[in-house]
Amino acid sequence: MEIDHHDQFAILGHPQRLAVFRMLMRRFPDALPAGEIAAATGVKPSTLSVYLSALRGAGLIRQDRVGTSLRYTADVDRASGLVEFMFADCCRGRPALCNPAPVAGRDRVMNVMFLCTGNSARSIFAEALLRDLGQGRFNAFSAGTTPARDVHLVAGELLRDKGHDTTGLHPKTVEDLMATGAPEMDFVFTVCDRAANEDCPAWPGLPVTAHWGIPDPVAATGTRAERMLAFQQAYGALKSRISAFVALPFETLDRSALQQRLDGLSHLQDTL
């Protein structure tokens, strides 16, 4: 199907359709049922059906059947085509203004943010893991959209049992790390679906972003052993992804290739 970029601009010119598309982009590569999209965006199901159809018709999202359920995901390849059209056509004569942001710095220590809702377990795990696995090549940060009062007791115990130094680890609000004078991030990873669903302001400096959704171990129920297993699995999945992240050949990847590699890491699970 040939895509008309003018149609794409028209579709995205509607605030609620744009909100649906942006949410699916933040959750990429997740494929979501319509009910979850409606709950996250506040769009009525009947209206959402019309919006999803329009976005599909414009080539901006895909629809796939998983069992008896229809799932929707952003079509990043075609969305990239829209951006390329803007650079090639709309920005002619002003290339200095239209060049995309460069790849994250290769010759300096890079800043990496892990974002979730409570900043008490998953993002804290990721911050501690990158501190140790990054071998001084990265500055690790974490924050929450609605941070908890303290690091979850089980999360802190697990990190110490794994040999991590937990000094300085504590929940922080995302606004503090977006404020004037805060470190400029090279990478921002959302590690929970709820944080990825939220329409946060754009990060200064246009960092490379990816969604690495991890089930919330704090919400686990059952026996103590079952709850502990949830924390172990969250830690293990993040360790797998961060180990692969720090091993990427950053010096050979342009921004597009780097984005594809980061999206691909979202499916790595516990290898412990």
Q: Which contacts qualify for 30-35: CB closer than 8 Å, 24 or more apart? A: 30/73, 30/193, 30/211, 30/213, 30/266, 31/64, 31/66, 31/71, 31/72, 31/73, 32/71, 32/72, 32/73, 33/69, 33/70, 33/71, 33/72, 34/70, 34/72
Of 30-39, 156-165, 246-255, give the range with the top mean pLDDT.
Answer: 156-165
User: pTM here?
Assistant: 0.73
**Residue spans per domain, the chain:** 5-98, 110-267
**What is the C-alpha to C-alpha distance for residues 192 and 172, in angstroms, rounded to an integer?**
16
pLDDT of residue 100 exceeding 80: no
> How is the beta sheet containing 208-211 ordered, strand by strand?
138-144, 110-116, 187-190, 208-211
Half-sphere exposure of 252 (CA within 13 A, CB side): 4
Distance between CA 118 and CA 172 in Å, rounded?
9
Rounded Cα distance between 93 and 80, Å, is 21
State percent of the chain over pLDDT 70. 85
Residue 135, pLDDT > 70, answer yes
Q: Can you give the pLDDT at residue 272?
A: 46
Looking at the domain that runs over 5-98, which CATH code has it been given?
1.10.10.10
Q: What is the pLDDT of residues 173-225, one digit of tens each?
A: 988 888 878 888 999 999 987 766 666 666 777 788 899 988 999 999 889 89
Q: How far apart are the first and last CA of the chain?
A: 44
Q: Which of the following CATH numbers is that of domain 110-267: 3.40.50.360, 3.90.850.10, 3.40.50.2300, 3.40.50.300? A: 3.40.50.2300
Q: What are phi and psi of 102, to 5 degrees?
A: -70, 165
Q: Give the pLDDT confidence score for residue 89 in this predicted structure.
A: 58
Q: Would you place residue 235 in the very low, low, confident or very high pLDDT band (cuts 50, 70, 90)?
A: very high
pLDDT-derived band of residue 124, with 50, 70 and 90 as boundaries? Answer: very high
